[in-house]
Amino acid sequence: MSAFTIAFDTFLDEFVALHPTAGTAIGDHRHDARWPDASPAGRERRRAFIDRWTADFEGLDPADLEPDEAIDRDLLLGELAAFRFEEVELQEVRWDPLAWIYLLGGGIFDLIAREFAPLADRLESVAGRLEGIPTVLDGARESLVGSDDGRPVARFQTEKALTQLAGIEELIGDALGEAERSTSADPRIEALRPRLDTAAAAARAAIAAFELHLRTVVLPSSSGEGRLGPELFARKMRHTMRSETLTPDRILRAAEREFDAVRGEMVRLARDLWPAWRPDEVVPADDEAMVRGVLDAIAAQHPAADDVLDYCRAENARIETFCRDRDIIGLADEPLDIRWTPVFLRATGGAMLIAPGPLDRSLTSFFAVTPMPDDWSAERRESYLREDNDRMLRLLTIHEAVPGHYLQAVYANRSPSLPRAIFSSGVFAEGWAVYVTQVMMDAGYGADDPALMLTHWKFYLRSLTNAIIDTRIHTAGMTEPEAMALMVTGGFQEEAEARAKYDRARLSSTQLSTYFVGSMEMWDIELEARRRAAEASGADRSTIVPGSLPGGLGLTPGFTYREHLEAVISHGAPPTSLLRRALFR
């Protein structure tokens, strides 16, 4: 083995020992019964690990490495810098109670949901983690007093954490249910039951005490909103994007410029569609009212709330058939389960892809759709269903499943580069899903349904409003009315969807920008690939010029989508700057 491979293997051994839940997520199950050390001593050990390995990888001269190893070295240095930023500067575990909910939920969910080992083995690990929950929550109580630089505990995040705690209780119940159903079939599980029951009781008591602490101690004294402010947000953006040039100001200007271009295209399409969707009605003189009128008619076609999963399952089958027939990209046989989102994850996303780790290849991926809360009014429920109407669900299925997140994660897990598969870039992943949806439109998916294209541009407009509100909320004090106006009036969203997105923007930071930025980067990469293909075919590369909207580049000599798309997602999921190095050597 090379010096780099030996170093990385040692690094990974230490990493999963310090981050056992991350180890479980990537498929390294040596520490499945443990939690990260939530004490101050544990934080110090993680900081020392970051500093030591940063020095070690910096000490490897790229000139002495293979080209792929040099890319992986730089990827790991970027990851370590991001770890340091999280531990030393951002310190979310000290002001965001949701960070602890995600830790607990992820640590239990992966053990129950993924069949990487016999159930008895996984339940034994569950028992160990349940036994460790009281200690983890002791660390949470000690930590949730505000960051070292004076950032107070965020009130909104605390309120959301209180609602999501029920999801941890649900996971404990799921584990006990699995044990009860399997006791008669496996004597090991029968022997484990007393320990599991005792651990569950102690975990539930600790969770109840933590909930009381959040409600009576943390919440009354919380005052922060979770807005990072211009300087901290810019530093986090640098680590999210792994770029010195993709600054918040640059991203905001690009998103606002494209926002206007997309709205212009929507006006053109809606004018053509008006007679079919609003027959016998006069076309409004106001462009916004005209677009909204067509979209409102389209939105009326939506499945019932209980039928959403079945609709997405059927649509995914149709999408796969289209990809095969048009030879868009090679598909995968790894299982995909379209299901409701686990309760503990419902605070921040309407839909998501939960993929197995690169060391748990061929296990099930979960395309999770978040159901509406039971306490929503009938009006709000209908608004939400209108936003995720028939055509929007078709696009969402492309984005989350094929050829979006699910397929990209399958290819990433097959990558020969373990660092790129393990430490995946959110900019790559989200950018790919947005980008490849446009590729599908360009390839003719849904070409017999012009209303789908209008809905597509509305869907893409979400990525632009996501980036705008992300920056403006965290750096410019954007208010709820201002954000709602941008999304509802500017982006034609339904009010329920926009309110959920406003909440998500306050609960997260920089992630909402990854959709637009990643897509922008993917189109830049495709443009370069087309120009190189044209040049190699004897054509003039300067004739390959993008338009004002993404996509629509037509035919290029020597360029085929299948070859390009598979090349892009066959290198793991690195930051886009490193992807360029891998593709264009």
Q: Show pLDDT as tens, one digit a residue, over the chain (585 residues).
A: 899 999 999 999 999 999 999 999 999 999 999 999 999 999 999 999 999 999 999 999 999 999 999 999 999 999 999 999 999 999 999 999 999 999 999 999 999 999 999 999 999 999 999 999 999 999 999 999 999 999 999 999 999 999 999 999 999 999 999 999 999 999 999 999 999 999 999 999 999 999 999 999 999 999 978 899 999 999 999 999 999 999 999 999 999 999 999 999 999 999 999 999 999 999 999 999 999 999 999 999 999 999 999 999 999 999 999 999 999 999 999 999 999 999 888 876 689 999 999 999 889 999 999 999 989 999 999 999 999 999 999 999 999 999 999 999 999 999 999 999 999 999 999 999 999 999 999 999 999 999 999 999 999 999 999 999 999 999 999 999 999 999 999 999 999 889 999 999 999 999 999 999 999 999 999 999 999 999 999 999 999 999 999 999 999 999 999 999 999 999 999 999 999 999 998
d(CA 399, CA 521): 17
pLDDT given for residue 447 in this prediction? 95
- 58 CB contacts (<8 Å, ≥6 apart)? 77
pLDDT given for residue 70 in this prediction? 98
Sheet with strand 365-369: strands edge to edge: 336-340, 365-369, 351-354
Angle at which helices 378-387 and 287-299 cross, to 10° = 100
pLDDT tens digits along 501-544: 999 999 999 999 999 999 999 999 999 999 999 999 999 999 99
- Contact call for residues 404 and 353 (beta carbons, < 8 A): yes
d(CA 501, CA 465): 10
- Contact call for residues 169 and 207 (beta carbons, < 8 A): yes
The verdict on whether omega for the bond into residue 403 sits within 30 degrees of 0, i.e. cis, is: yes
Q: What angle do CA 455, 461, 464 make, to 5 degrees?
A: 165
Return the DSSP state at 154.
B
The DSSP string of 313-336 is HHHHHHHHHHHHHHT-S----S-E
d(CA 435, CA 519): 5
pLDDT given for residue 350 in this prediction? 80
Tell me the pTM: 0.96
Burial 89-126 (b: 16+ CB within 10 A, else e): ebbbbbbbbbbbbbbbbbbbbbbbbbebeebbebbbbb
Return the DSSP state at 341.
P
Q: H-type helices in 327-389, by residue range?
A: 378-387
Domain range annotation of the chain:
3-232, 241-517, 520-583
- Contact call for residues 384 and 539 (beta carbons, < 8 A): no
- 234 CB contacts (<8 Å, ≥6 apart)? 247, 248, 475
Three-class DSSP category at 349:
coil
| Number of other CB atoms surrounding residue 86 within 10 Å | 17
pLDDT given for residue 348 in this prediction? 65
pLDDT given for residue 364 in this prediction? 96
Report which residue type is found at 375: D
pLDDT given for residue 344 in this prediction? 84
Report which residue type is found at 194: P
- 304 CB contacts (<8 Å, ≥6 apart)? 385
d(CA 246, CA 272): 37
Q: Report the chain's C-alpha Rg in angstroms.
A: 24
Three-class DSSP category at 65:
coil
pLDDT given for residue 349 in this prediction? 65
Report which residue type is found at 539: A
